[in-house]
Amino acid sequence: MDAARTALRLGARDSIIVYRRSRNELPARIEEVEHAEQEGVQFHLLTTPAAFHGQNGRVLELECLRNELGNRMHPVGKRR
What pLDDT digit, counting tens, does each position of 55-70 carry?
Answer: 999 999 999 999 888 7
Nearest to 41 by CA among 10, 4, 75, 77: 4
Pairing of strands 47-55, 42-45: unpaired
The pTM score is 0.81
d(CA 59, CA 80) in angstroms, rounded, equals 22
**Domain span holding position 21:** 2-69
Query: Structurally, how many domains does the chain consist of?
Result: 1
Q: How confident is the model at residue 75 (pLDDT cuts 50, 70, 90)?
A: low
- Amino acid 69: pLDDT: 81
d(CA 18, CA 31) in angstroms, rounded, equals 18
Name the residue type at position 69: L
The reply to whether 74 falls in a domain is no
Domain CATH for 37 = 3.50.50.60
The reply to whether 48 falls in a domain is yes
